[in-house]
Amino acid sequence: MCPHSAQVREVYAGSTGPERRLLLRPLTGAEARTGTPRGPVVCAPEAKLPPADTTVPAGGSTSAELTVTNPCDTPLRDVTAAFGLAEGWTATPGTLDLGDLAADRTATVRTELARGEGTPNGPRPAAAEVRATSTGGARVNGSASAELDGTPPSPHGEVSVSTLDFLTADNGWGPVERDRGNGEAAPGDGKALTIDGTTYERGLGTHADSTVEVFLGGNCSTFTATTGLDDEVGADGSVVFKVYADGERVYRGGTAHGSDAAVPVEARIEGARKLRLRVTDGGDGNAHDHADWAAATVRCGTGGTG
């Protein structure tokens, strides 16, 4: 067990009377050998960085509150904070001077985290490094982090899902195809989307198990599609089509077989930030599960968050 230098602290805890807290720090090698600690317990700041919104379109921004707490029984002096962001992202202000922070006190400051135009979509980390001077002049630090999501712009009007950027595109065979049926391993090698003899110009060609997720930004109300096994597999295959709005399932079809007619789908997605389309195997293996989201469309407002 590592030897420690201990400092007992008594604080008032209301009707239950005082409580004691124990602060520990590891002893240095010299302190452990001599049995004599050379200095007091050094205590570091604690920090949190919750953003108001984790999704940020290109050119957009979100505010975040940096909360710095002094858990020590002595003041922290010269408390400062600096933000670290992904390339193309900025914080305003980027550095903060919080001054001195008394024992058991908290300071909260707001900053604006902005995403530059032309920056890539996807998760991006944000971090705040907090530094201070503790007992005996020791420099100490704490940190806080948040995960931001660089999103595409929200769709406006009536939009084919095949024209939207994919946040996720996982497929049981080859890539998810835009405006084609599922093909082989290369993108764009599928045939025309065809269900029960009808060919569709727009839609997604997938293969179970499949997940496609797109960003809506809370600007859309309805998702529609015509679903079924692509005619390429004949009477074979069986799948289940599912629709999710922000992780909540809003549609689940019955088990569709290759010999079945196309099934129209309409799902309410009012206010959803993300739309997820799932296709799962119907229970007989996925060898023939070419599943089409034909004419997949979202109907959205003329305004939006992106």
pLDDT band at 297 (very low <50, low <70, confident <90, very high): very high
Residues 295 and 163 occupy one common structural domain:
yes
Among 2-11, 17-26, 179-188, 230-239, the range scoring the smallest mean pLDDT is: 2-11
Q: Say if residue 181 is exposed, middle or buried (CB neighbours under 10 Å; 0-12, 13-18, 19+).
A: buried
Q: Check pLDDT > 90 for residue 94.
A: yes
Asked if residue 292 belongs to a domain, the reply is yes
Mean of pLDDT values over 293-302: 95
Residues 205 and 179 occupy one common structural domain:
yes
Last residue of a domain, one of 88, 117, 151: 151
Residues 190 and 206 occupy one common structural domain:
yes
pTM: 0.73
Over the chain, what is the mean pLDDT? 88
Q: Check pLDDT > 80 for residue 105.
A: yes
Q: Check pLDDT > 80 for residue 178.
A: yes
Asked if residue 140 belongs to a domain, the reply is yes
Residues 275 and 237 occupy one common structural domain:
yes
Mean of pLDDT values over 75-92: 96
Asked if residue 131 belongs to a domain, the reply is yes
pLDDT in tens, 46-81: 999 999 999 999 999 999 999 999 999 999 999 999
pLDDT at 102: 96
Q: Check pLDDT > 60 for residue 1.
A: no
| Number of domains within the chain | 3
Residues 58 and 118 occupy one common structural domain:
yes
State the residue range of the domain holding 90.
46-151
Among 87-101, 212-226, 291-305, the range scoring the smallest mean pLDDT is: 291-305
Residues 79 and 165 occupy one common structural domain:
no
Residues 273 and 195 occupy one common structural domain:
yes
Question: Using CA of residue 254, residue 257, residue 259, residue 263, what is the dihedral sign?
Answer: positive
Asked if residue 29 belongs to a domain, the reply is yes
Tell me, what CATH number does 119's domain have?
A: 2.60.40.10
pLDDT at 290: 95
Q: Check pLDDT > 50 for residue 2.
A: no
Mean of pLDDT values over 294-300: 98
Residues 16 and 115 occupy one common structural domain:
no
Asked if residue 210 belongs to a domain, the reply is yes
Residues 295 and 174 occupy one common structural domain:
yes
Alpha-carbon Rg for the chain, nearest whole angstrom, is 28
Asked if residue 185 belongs to a domain, the reply is yes
Q: How far is CA 282 from CA 100, 243, 295, in A?
A: 63, 16, 22
Asked if residue 75 belongs to a domain, the reply is yes
Rounded distance, CA 100 to CA 133, Å? Answer: 9
pLDDT at 18: 46
Percent of the chain whose predicted confidence (pLDDT) is above 90 = 77
Asked if residue 41 belongs to a domain, the reply is no
pLDDT in tens, 188-209: 888 999 999 999 999 999 999 9
Percent of the chain whose predicted confidence (pLDDT) is above 70 = 85
3-state SS assignment for residue 163: helix
Last residue of a domain, one of 93, 119, 151: 151
Judge contact between 43 and 63, C-beta under 8 A. Answer: no
Question: Using CA of residue 28, residue 30, residue 33, residue 39, what is the dihedral sign?
Answer: negative
